[in-house]
Structures are given as C-alpha cells and as structure tokens.
Amino acid sequence: MSSNIKSFIFAFVMCCVVGLLLTLAAEGLKPLQARNMLVDQQKNILRALGIMQSTDKWSKDQVLSVYTNTVESIYVDAAGSLVEQPSDADLPMYVIREGDSIQRYAIPFKAYGLWSWIHGYIALDGDASTVVGMSVYKHAETPGLGGECDKPWFLNQFVDKKIRKPNGQLVSVGVVKGKVVDTIASDQQAYYVDGMSGATITGVGIERDLRTTLQQYEGFASALLKEKQS
Amino acid sequence: MKISKTAAYKTFTAPLVSANPIAVAVLGICSALAVTTQVLPSIVMMLAMTFVLASSNVVISLLRNYIPKNIRIIVELVVIASLVILADQLLKAFLYDVSKQLSVFVSLIVTNCIIMGRAEAFALGNGPWLSFWDGLGNGLGYGYILVVVSAFRELLGAGTLLGFQIVPDAAYAAGYVDMGLMVLAPGVFITIGLLVWLQNKWTGR
C-alpha cells in the first residue's frame, strides 16, 4: 500500500473516531451546561434587580427558586403595552411586582466596547428614572482595563443614579473619563459614573448603547409613569 | 531500586525544576500572562493543562508507530484539539463560573507550544508510561509557576487570595493602596522575570 493511501485511511479513521467521541461528550454534557447558563442568566438579573449582592454565594437551586418566586419575565411592544405572543420586534424585560404595580424592572442591554459586545442587565425603580442596579455577564474587553466593566466597583456606582431629568427628559447615565467629582458640576453628578482608567472606548460604548437601549423602552416607561399618576 | 532512580521519576521531576517549561524554556508565556490575575483560575488552568498534556502524550505515544510520517503534525494537532474541546466542555458543565473567567484561554491551550513541543520531542520517541509522566511533570511544572505568579498578583494587586481578603481593612484605612500594576500585564513580566532569575540562581545555570 502506498504511503499516501495509508495516510488518507489513517486520517479518515481518526476523524471518525474523534468526531464520534466529541459528539458523545458534547451531547452528554449539554443538559448540565444549559442549566448552568440558565442559572447564570437568572443570577445576573437578580443582581441587577438588587435582590442578590455581588458578594452573595448562592447555590444553583437557591438562585432558581428565588428567581421563580420573585421575578416575572414579560415582553412589551414599542408603545409599552404587554405582549402575550412575543415577536422579534418586542422587547424583553424582567419585572418584580408588588400587588399589581411594578416595583422595579430589569432590561437587558448590549453595548459595543473596544473589542466585543458587553452583555448585561440594567434595573430601574418603578419611577422609571432611578437605577437600582446593573450587571454584566459577558464581554471580551482587556482584563484589568475595559475588563473592569464587570467588576462590582464599576457596576455598583450605577445604583441610585438617575436616567431622567426632573422634567422627564431621558438623559441616561454617562461614563466620564476620570472621576465624576473632578469633571462634572455637582448638580449633574447624579447622571454620571466614574470611567475605567485606560478604557475610554469601553466607557464611551457603554454610555452610547445604554442610552439607545433605554430609549427603546421609553414607550414602556411613559406608560408606567402614566399608570402611577392615575 | 529506589524510586528516585527510576526513569519515570526522572522524567517527572526534570520539568518541575531543571527543565521547567516556563522558568527555563520560557514557553507558554501568553496564557501565563492572561490567566494569572487570580489564584483560582490559575489552579483550574493548571489542571486543564495537565490533563490535556498527560493524555495527549499518552495517546500520541500509543499511536507513534502507526502515525504516517507525512501527516504527523496534523494528527498530533487533532488529538490535542479534541482533548482541549473535551476539557472545555467539562469545565462548562462542572465549573461554569471559572470557565467564564478563563474564557478563550482554555481553547487556546491548543496553541500552547508546550503541548506540541512535548508531543514532538518526547511522546513520538518514548513509550506511553514515560510519556504520561513527562506530560504530568510538564503540566504541573507549568501550572505551579502559574499559581505562584497568580498568588503574588492577587495578593499585591487585590489584597486577596482565592477570593478571601488577606490585607486587613485597617491597612486600607491607614492609607495602604493595592498595587494596580500587578493586575496588568507588566506585573507578570516582572514576577516571571524575578522567578526565572531565582530559579537560575538556585540551579546554578
């Protein structure tokens, strides 16, 4: 047998064996992985909503049960009314109700930083203007620089910031270059957080895409505010 | 025969000190830079690396008389890549948080030149028993440097070890500041540089 044919046969058999083994491993582990991903998503929603602190170490079952008992997943359309059968254009959100009224709600966002999409949740109070928390669960920014965007020191700054002027105009939360206390006038500081040093572009991306996301939910926010007033 | 005289023992211990892949051969620096900001990911990286290295050495050593010479490198890569995917899948199933932290660096074990290097230099010419010990030794030799470096970085850069706070609050109150440089890439170059120096001083090279 010529050496070329031998090589082909060897390569073919090897591919079959390796392919089979990897398929078995991937399929066998899939349920465990899917559960981990679900728990991770719910954990991040709970963190944004301020129910779970970043220092809490909860078991998977604990996360699942707390989530099921407190959070309701809904879809709204651009005008802010509830959609039963969601389509692609509808907006997902996660709400906590107290009685019938919405006490706080989390919305998913994604922002393009320097290298990657940064995925996370931002949660707002029922007044649709105060941030109750933020979490980031996926990104590929530079560790130590833009990678700081998933660290508690950065995310916790968003708590109690305002996304809306007293007159109702949406301004979102800005990420400044440097420290807020050094750069922003004291009556505007409620709308800004400190940036990450060495990661200006990550900060700019988060600021820009956070505003875009919040704008999409303005229909819901004004409906919510109207409901609260009446 | 004393255990320290066996070939397996020598094969296992050489890469731990005198032929250490990082401190002596300065291989695998890329992943050493990336995953060593904290101790926990470094330990997991050490385990994943040792698993891949030991198994790939054994498999390639078992196949060494059958692998056609002209597709040798491809076969080695397929074996290594499959084992890495397996390790990655296992991490995602059982250690999800750590696998998120390690992100792409688990898959990048494929390109770690230590593995390919050991396959070419050792497994192709030796039996599975010795190859296993060679893989184990190189994996741990690579890994313990990672853990030492990450311990320095986490302690000096964040004041914690394995996530537990070591530097007391009183020190921060008194004006102690974490050394931000250690968390960044230059921190690794400095630490590894010092380690290489100590190692060479110690072994008298």
ipTM of the complex: 0.72
pLDDT-derived band at A48, boundaries 50, 70, 90: confident
Q: Is residue A12 part of a domain?
A: no
Per-residue pLDDT at A32 exceeds 60: yes
Instruction: Specify the number of domains making up chain B.
Output: 1
Q: Is residue B16 part of a domain?
A: yes
Per-residue pLDDT at B1 exceeds 70: no
Which is higher by pLDDT, B86 or B6? B86
Instruction: Specify the number of domains making up chain A.
Output: 1
> Cα separations (Å) of B201 from B21, B191, B205?
17, 15, 7
Task: Compare all CA atoms of chain A with the CA of B79 and give the residue at the minimum distance.
Answer: A18
Q: Is residue B182 part of a domain?
A: no
What is the rounded distance in angstroms from the CA atom of residue A208 to the CA atom of residue A11? 50
A17: contact with B, CB 8 A cutoff = no
When scoring A12, A18, A37 by the number of chain B Cβ atoms within 10 A, the one with the most, hence best to mutate, is: A18
How near does any CA of chain A get to the CA of B96, in Å?
6
Q: How large is the average pLDDT for residues B67-72?
A: 87
**Greatest extent of chain B over all pairs of C-alpha atoms, in Å:** 67
Q: Please count the other Cβ atoms lying within 10 Å of the Cβ belonging to residue A30.
A: 13
What is the rounded distance in angstroms from the CA atom of residue B136 to the CA atom of residue B147? 16
Q: What is the pLDDT of residue B131?
A: 92
Helix (H) or strand (E) holding B87: helix B72-94
Inspect the interface and report whether the beta carbons of A7 and B94 lie closer than 8 Å: no
When scoring B42, B71, B75 by the number of chain A Cβ atoms within 10 A, the one with the most, hence best to mutate, is: B71
Q: Is residue B132 part of a domain?
A: yes
Q: How large is the average pLDDT for residues A102-114?
A: 90
Inspect the interface and report whether the beta carbons of B185 and A33 lie closer than 8 Å: no
Inspect the interface and report whether the beta carbons of A144 and B184 lie closer than 8 Å: yes
Q: What is the pLDDT of residue A112?
A: 93
Q: Is residue B138 part of a domain?
A: yes
Inspect the interface and report whether the beta carbons of A144 and B183 lie closer than 8 Å: yes
Q: Is residue A4 part of a domain?
A: no
Per-residue pLDDT at A90 exceeds 80: yes
A40: contact with B, CB 8 A cutoff = yes
Instruction: Give the angle subtended at the CA of A69 by the CAs of A66 and A74, to the nearest 5°.
Output: 110
How near does any CA of chain B get to the CA of A92, in Å?
24
Averaged pLDDT score across all residues of chain B: 85
Q: What is the pLDDT of residue A28?
A: 93
Q: What is the pLDDT of residue A23?
A: 94
Q: What is the pLDDT of residue B54?
A: 93
pLDDT-derived band at A81, boundaries 50, 70, 90: confident
Per-residue pLDDT at B135 exceeds 80: yes
Contacting residues of B for A11, CB less than 8 Å apart: 71, 74-75
A216: contact with B, CB 8 A cutoff = no
How near does any CA of chain A get to the CA of B95, in Å?
9
Q: What is the pLDDT of residue A205?
A: 92
Task: Compare all CA atoms of chain B with the CA of A141 and give the residue at the minimum distance.
Answer: B103
- Boundaries of domain holding B58: 8-142
Q: Is residue A167 part of a domain?
A: yes
For B78-99, the pLDDT digits (tens) are 999 999 999 999 988 988 888 8
How near does any CA of chain B get to the CA of A87, in Å?
30
What is the rounded distance in angstroms from the CA atom of residue A50 to the CA atom of residue A124? 10
pTM over 0.90: no
Q: Is residue B199 part of a domain?
A: no
For B150-182, the pLDDT digits (tens) are 898 888 887 888 878 888 888 888 888 888 788
Contact predicate A180/A130, CB 8 Å: no
> In this structure, is the dihedral angle defined by the CA atoms of residues B24, B26, B29 and B33, taken in order, positive or negative?
positive
Residues A34-40: contacts with CB under 8 Å, at least 24 apart: A35/A60, A36/A60, A36/B92, A36/B93, A36/B96, A37/B96, A38/A64, A39/A63, A39/A64, A39/B96, A40/A137, A40/B96, A40/B97, A40/B100
Q: What is the pLDDT of residue A51?
A: 83
> In this structure, is the dihedral angle defined by the CA atoms of residues A213, A219, A224 and A225, taken in order, positive or negative?
positive
Contacting residues of B for A151, CB less than 8 Å apart: none
Closest CB to A7 among B68, B79, B89? B68
For B23-47, the pLDDT digits (tens) are 777 777 777 777 888 888 889 889 9
Q: What is the pLDDT of residue B84?
A: 92
Per-residue pLDDT at A1 exceeds 70: no
High-pLDDT (> 70) share of chain B, %: 97
Q: Is residue B30 part of a domain?
A: yes
Q: How large is the average pLDDT for residues B126-137?
A: 91
Helix (H) or strand (E) holding A105: strand A101-112
Q: How large is the average pLDDT for residues A160-169?
A: 86
Rank A191-205, B94-108, B170-184 by mean pLDDT and report only the highest.
Answer: A191-205
- Boundaries of domain holding A163: 71-229
Contacting residues of A for B71, CB less than 8 Å apart: 7, 10-11
Closest CB to A140 among B103, B183, B185? B103
Q: Is residue A157 part of a domain?
A: yes
A9: contact with B, CB 8 A cutoff = no
Q: How large is the average pLDDT for residues A63-67?
A: 86
What is A47-93 written as a DSSP string? HHTTSS-TT----HHHHHHHHHHH-EEEEE-TTS-EESS--TTSEEE
